Amino acid sequence: RLCWGGPPAGPAGTGKTETTKDLARALGLPCYVFNCSDQMNYQTMADIFKGLAQVGAWGCFDEFNRIMIEVLSVVASQVKYVLDAVVNFSVPGNREKKYANLPAGTPPT
């Protein structure tokens, strides 16, 4: 149930992205790095989240502070929906019958 994610924080050039990628590699998980810009909108972010959720990958968002504040408001809601679903479906009783016997974190095939 510890699937809440976490944002590494610190000054520029201290290895936050590389550390995240190395941790994902050590855990055997794919990690995709996205360079954010002011051209990203809520739909772009939704598409990224859908892709990450479908493959069970980690997302690393470089220069997240470049995204417009209006978009960040919607992104906060999108992230909350994803995390709420992770928590909800980590309980086997909340899943469809055909997935109820799978351990938490097992993607459907």
Structure confidence at residue 17 (pLDDT): 92
Contact assessment for residue 75 and residue 64, using Cβ atoms and an 8 Å cutoff: no
Residue pLDDT, tens place only, 6-48: 788 888 889 999 999 999 999 999 999 999 999 999 999 999 9
Taking each continuous run of H as one helix and of E as one strand, the counts in the chain are 3, 2
Q: What pTM value is reported for the model?
A: 0.74
